[in-house]
Structure 1
Amino acid sequence: MIYIENIYAQEVLDSRGNPTIKATVILSDGTIESAIVPSGASTGKREALELRDGDKSRYLGKGVLKACENIDTTISQALIGATPFDQNHIDSLLKSLDGTDNYSNLGANAVLGVSMAIARSGASSLNIPLYRYIGGANALTIPVPMLNIINGGSHADNTVDFQEYMIMPLGFDTFKDALRASAEVYQHLKKILNESSHITSIGDEGGFAPNLKNNVEPIELILKAIQKAGYKPGTDISLALDVASSEFSEENGIYHLKGENRKLTSHELVSYYEDMVRQYPIVSIEDGLSEDDWEGWKYLTEKLGNKIQLVGDDLFVTNKTILKHGIEQNIANAVLIKPNQIGTVSESMQTVSLAQRNNYKCVMSHRSGESEDSFIADFAVALNTGEIKTGSTARSERIAKYNRLLQIESEIAHTQYLGRELFKNNS
C-alpha cells in the first residue's frame, strides 16, 4: 500500500514579494509533489484565517514560519502513514486537527498547502493528470478566461474605484483562440494608453493601472482596444467587472466612489450598474455590493439577476454554509471559488457542488498574491466550473495558469469550450 511518508514546509515568496507556504509531500513509492499557497489583498472578513507570524523584524510581520512549523510538526505527525488517495478523508482529518471553523489554530494557508500537495501527489503516483484525478472522466470543460486588463481599487495605486475590468472572449470555439484574441486586445490597449499619454505600469494581476477620470473610462478604452484588435464587442469579446465594493463601502451603508467624488446608496449604485449594463456589453459583475449588504444584494439580484451574471466573492467566501443562505434568499447567481478562502480542496469541491446543483455558476479564481503554481487551472477543468479568473496576459504567475490550460486543452480530444453559450440562460 502506498502511504504518506513525509510532509514538510518551506517559506517562499509570492508575486507581491510577501512570504507564503510551499508544502511538500513524499509518498512511500518515491513520489514527491509540492503546492504553493496564494494570498489575497482584497479579502472578505469571513475568509478562513491566513496565519502570519506578526514579527515586525521579519518581512514586516508577514512571515509564515509558524504556519510552516504547524505543517512540519502537528500536521505531518497526524498524516504520515495515511493513504494519499482519499482526499475527503485527508481534508476531514485536517479540519478535525485544527478544531476551529476558520482554521485559526493551524492556519488555512498551512492546511491548504498540504491539501493541494496531497491531491497532486495522488495524481502523480497514479501517473494521471491532476484534473483527471480530481474530476474523473467528466473533467472535460476548458474554462472561459476572465482576463483582468485594467486594475483599480486594492490592486493598483490609481484613481479607479472598481478593482478589475475584465474581458471575456466568449465568441471562440477553443481556449487557444480565445487566449490569442485576449492577448491581442491587451497589446492594443497598451498602445492606446501610450497614445493617450497614460502610464502603462501594471497592477498586481497584470492589468494596466492608469489614472482615469471616472469608473466608466476604462470600459471605453477596452472597447476601443477590442475593435482595434479586429474583434466585435459583445459578440467575440464581452466585458466583466469585479467592483469589490466592500473596499469602498462605509459603515452607514453608503458607497463612496472617491475617484468620482460621489456617495451613493445601495439602490443608487444598482442604478449605476443598470445604466452601465444597458450601454455596454457587460455580462458579469462581481461583488457589486458589500459583503454585509444583503438587502442591497437582494435588490441587485431582482434588477439584474435575469440579465447578467452576479458573482459573490467577499459575499460567499467559498463557504457552502454562507452560499446556502444566499441561495435560500435568492441572492446573486454565481459564486467565486478561491480555495484559500475555505481551507481545503474538498471543502472547495463541496461549495462548487452545492452551487451547480442550484444552477449557480462557478468561477475558479486566483488571488492577487500568486505564484508559479497552476493548481487552479486543473481544478477548474476537474470541476467543470466553466470560467476562470487568473489575471491578464502578463506576469509569469498568471501566464502559468493559461499555459497549463493550453496544455490541458491539447490533451483532451474533444474540447468542450463554452464560448457564446456560457450566458445563454441569462440573456
Structure 2
Amino acid sequence: MSKISSVTSEEILDSNGTPTLRTHVYLDDGSVGTASVPSGASRGSNEVAELRDLDPGRFNGMGVLRAAAHVQNLIYTAVKNTDPFDQEKIDETMRSLDGTVDKSRLGGNAILSVSLAVAKAAASSLKLPLFKYVRRLGKVGSEDFQIPLLMINLIEGGKHVKAGLDFQEFLVIPKGQKSIEVGHAKIYKLIESLQILIGKEKIGSGLGMEGGFSVKLSKNEEAINLLKEAVDHSEFTDEDFAVGLDIAAMSIYENGKYHLSDIQKPLDPGDFIDYLEKISKKYALYSLEDPLNENDWNGWKKLKSKLSLNTLVIGDDLTTTNQNRLTQALDVEAVSGVVVKPNQIGTLSETLAFALRAKEAGTKIVVSHRGGETKDTFIADLAVGLNADLIKIGSPLQTERLVKFNRLMEIEQELRKETI
C-alpha cells in the first residue's frame, strides 16, 4: 500500500498578484499530487483563516512563507508515511495539529493545499480521473455523472472592481445547456455582443477580478438591462439565457441599512427585501446570491418565502461551506441553494460532508471559484464528482478561469467516450 513520502510547498502569485501556496505531495510509488489554493476578495466572517506573514516589507504583509514552512515541517511530520487513501484521517490529523476552530495556527490555506494535493496524489496512484476519485470520497452514490450548469460572470462590481456598481456579479446562465462545449460557444457569442454594446456606449473600464466587464454605469439595473440587450443583439432569447445576481450584501450593508446607487435613501432590511422581490419578478432572475446580511436569518427566511420558486436564494457568506451554518440555514428555511468553496472550510473531507448534507436536504449545490484564482482546475473535478447543479468559474476571458472551462470539456469528452 502506498504511503506519503514527501511534502513540499512554495509561494506563488494568484490572479490578483497576491501570494498563495502551491503544494506537492509525493507517494512512495512515484505518484505526485499538486494543488494551488485560491483566495477570496469578498469573504464571509465565518471562513477559516488564511495564514499571512504580516511582513510589511513583502507584498504588504500578504506573503505566505510561514504557511509554506508549516506545510514542509509540522504538517509533513504529521502525515509522513500515512495512508493517502484515508482522506478523512489525514484531514483530521491536520485539524488536530492546528487545534483551533478557524485553522488559524497553521492556516486554512496551508491545510487545504495539503488536503487537495493528497487527493490528487491518491487519484494518480489509482490511475483514476480525479472526478471519479472525488465521487468515491464524496459518497454521492452510483448515480450517473452530470455536468453542472454554468453560471458566467459577465459584468462585475463590488469588491471585484476599483470603482463601479454595487452588486458584485451579474451572471448569465445558459438555460437548457446540452453540453459545456455548446454552452461555451453560446457564451462567447454573447460576450462578443456585450463587447460591441459596451464599445458603442463608451462605458467600458477594463475587466474585473473574474474576467467580467467593469462598466461605467450608475445603477445596478442598468447592468441587468445591458445583459438583456446583449442577449437580444446576439439573436438569443430569454429562453437561451437567464440572469442571476451575486449581491454580496455585506459590502453594501452599513449601520443596519443597505446603500444602493439605484435608490437615493438607504433601505432598511424590510424595504430592501421588497426591492429584491421587485427586481426578481421584473427580470425573472434565476438566482440571488448573498442577498442579505449574513446574520439576518429572519430576513433570509422572509425573502425566500416571497420569491418565486424559480428564483434560487443562494447562501455563500451565509453558509461558508460550514456544516453548522448549513444546519441553521436549513432549519430556518433560509436558502434553496448553497455555494461550495473548499478554501472556506479548509479541508476536502469537510467540503464533501457539507455538499452531501446539502444534497440530502434537496438544496442546490453551486461549486465556485474565488476572486484570486490560480490555474488549478480542481473545482471542475469537484463539481462533476459531486454532481453539482451549478458551477461558477468566472469569464473565459481570463486564463485562470479558462483552464477550468477546458477541464470541464475534457471531463465531458471522457464521459462521452465511455457511453459509446
Is the CA contact 1:140–1:415 (under 8 Å) kept in the aligned structure 2?
no
Residue in structure 2 matched with residue 25 of structure 1 by the alignment: 25
How much does 1:415 deviate?
9.7
Residue in structure 2 matched with residue 134 of structure 1 by the alignment: 134
Match of 2:348 among 345, 349, 354: 345
Q: 1:69-88 alignment to 2 at 5 Å?
A: 69-88=69-88
Match of 2:155 among 128, 145, 150: 150
- Against the structure 1 CA distance between its residues 6 and 138, is the aligned structure 2 distance closer, same or farther, given a 3 Å change threshold? farther
Instruction: Give the distance between the partners of 1:351 and 1:377, measured in 2 at CA.
Output: 17
SS of equivalent residue, structure 1 residue 291: coil
Is the CA contact 1:206–1:394 (under 8 Å) kept in the aligned structure 2?
yes
Tell whether 2:14 aligns with 1:14: yes
Instruction: Give the distance between the partners of 2:288 and 2:417, measured in 1 at CA.
Output: 31
Q: 1:280-299 alignment to 2 at 5 Å?
A: 280-299=283-302
> What letter matches 1:54 in structure 2?
L
How much does 1:25 deviate?
0.4
Is the CA contact 2:154–2:191 (under 8 Å) kept in the aligned structure 1?
yes
Is the CA contact 1:132–1:139 (under 8 Å) kept in the aligned structure 2?
no
- Could you list the per-position Cα deviations for residues 257-314 of structure 1 after superposition, in whole angstroms to 9, with x for gaps in the alignment? 1465431111211111111122213111000001122221121111116341000000
Instruction: Give the distance between the partners of 1:262 and 1:40, measured in 2 at CA.
Output: 30
Residue in structure 2 matched with residue 239 of structure 1 by the alignment: 243
Tell whether 2:377 aligns with 1:374: yes
Residue in structure 2 matched with residue 177 of structure 1 by the alignment: 182
- Against the structure 1 CA distance between its residues 181 and 113, is the aligned structure 2 distance closer, same or farther, given a 3 Å change threshold? same
SS of equivalent residue, structure 1 residue 264: coil
Residue in structure 2 matched with residue 383 of structure 1 by the alignment: 386
Residue in structure 1 matched with residue 108 of structure 2 by the alignment: 108
SS of equivalent residue, structure 1 residue 246: helix
> What letter matches 2:365 in structure 1?
C
Q: 1:35-114 alignment to 2 at 5 Å?
A: 35-114=35-114
Identity value in percent: 39
- Against the structure 1 CA distance between its residues 27 and 189, is the aligned structure 2 distance closer, same or farther, given a 3 Å change threshold? same
Residue in structure 2 matched with residue 217 of structure 1 by the alignment: 222
How much does 1:327 deviate?
0.5
Instruction: Give the distance between the partners of 2:79 and 2:262, measured in 1 at CA.
Output: 50
> What letter matches 2:87 in structure 1?
Q
Residue in structure 2 matched with residue 354 of structure 1 by the alignment: 357
Q: TM-score, normalised by structure 2?
A: 0.96
Q: TM-score, normalised by structure 1?
A: 0.94
- Against the structure 1 CA distance between its residues 24 and 305, is the aligned structure 2 distance closer, same or farther, given a 3 Å change threshold? farther
Calculate the aligned-residue CA RMSD, in Å.
1.4
- Could you list the per-position Cα deviations for residues 191-236 of structure 1 after superposition, in whole angstroms to 9, with x for gaps in the alignment? 1000001124000000000120211001111111112222112x11
Is the CA contact 1:160–1:259 (under 8 Å) kept in the aligned structure 2?
no
Residue in structure 2 matched with residue 420 of structure 1 by the alignment: none
Instruction: Provide structure 1 residue ranges, at least 5 long, that are not aligned to the other structure.
Output: 417-427
Instruction: Give the distance between the partners of 1:17 and 1:139, measured in 2 at CA.
Output: 39
SS of equivalent residue, structure 2 residue 286: strand
SS of equivalent residue, structure 2 residue 371: coil
Residue in structure 2 matched with residue 424 of structure 1 by the alignment: none
- Against the structure 1 CA distance between its residues 60 and 139, is the aligned structure 2 distance closer, same or farther, given a 3 Å change threshold? farther
> What letter matches 2:134 in structure 1?
I
Tell whether 2:5 aligns with 1:5: yes
SS of equivalent residue, structure 1 residue 216: helix
Q: 1:408-423 alignment to 2 at 5 Å?
A: 408-413=411-416
Residue in structure 2 matched with residue 167 of structure 1 by the alignment: 172
Instruction: Give the distance between the partners of 1:161 and 1:270, measured in 2 at CA.
Output: 16
How much does 1:255 deviate?
0.6
Residue in structure 1 matched with residue 331 of structure 2 by the alignment: 328
Residue in structure 1 matched with residue 139 of structure 2 by the alignment: none
Instruction: Give the distance between the partners of 1:122 and 1:259, measured in 2 at CA.
Output: 51
Residue in structure 2 matched with residue 303 of structure 1 by the alignment: 306
> What letter matches 1:337 in structure 2?
V
> What letter matches 1:352 in structure 2?
A
How much does 1:181 deviate?
0.5
Residue in structure 1 matched with residue 277 of structure 2 by the alignment: 274
Is the CA contact 1:5–1:28 (under 8 Å) kept in the aligned structure 2?
yes
Is the CA contact 2:33–2:119 (under 8 Å) kept in the aligned structure 1?
no
Instruction: Give the distance between the partners of 2:177 and 2:355, measured in 1 at CA.
Output: 25
- Could you list the per-position Cα deviations for residues 316-356 of structure 1 after superposition, in whole angstroms to 9, with x for gaps in the alignment? 00101110011011111111001000010110111111111
Residue in structure 1 matched with residue 406 of structure 2 by the alignment: 403
SS of equivalent residue, structure 2 residue 154: strand
Is the CA contact 2:149–2:177 (under 8 Å) kept in the aligned structure 1?
no
> What letter matches 2:199 in structure 1?
N
Instruction: Give the distance between the partners of 1:277 and 1:49, measured in 2 at CA.
Output: 34
Instruction: Give the distance between the partners of 1:281 and 1:223, measured in 2 at CA.
Output: 11
Higher mean C-alpha deviation, range 266-275 or range 69-78: 266-275
- Could you list the per-position Cα deviations for residues 361-381 of structure 1 after superposition, in whole angstroms to 9, with x for gaps in the alignment? 110000000010000000000
Residue in structure 1 matched with residue 367 of structure 2 by the alignment: 364
Instruction: Give the distance between the partners of 1:349 and 1:35, measured in 2 at CA.
Output: 17
Instruction: Give the distance between the partners of 2:30 and 2:211, measured in 1 at CA.
Output: 37
Q: How many pairs does the alignment contain?
A: 414
Is the CA contact 1:38–1:370 (under 8 Å) kept in the aligned structure 2?
yes
Is the CA contact 1:186–1:393 (under 8 Å) kept in the aligned structure 2?
no
- Could you list the per-position Cα deviations for residues 158-189 of structure 1 after superposition, in whole angstroms to 9, with x for gaps in the alignment? 33100000000012311211111111111110
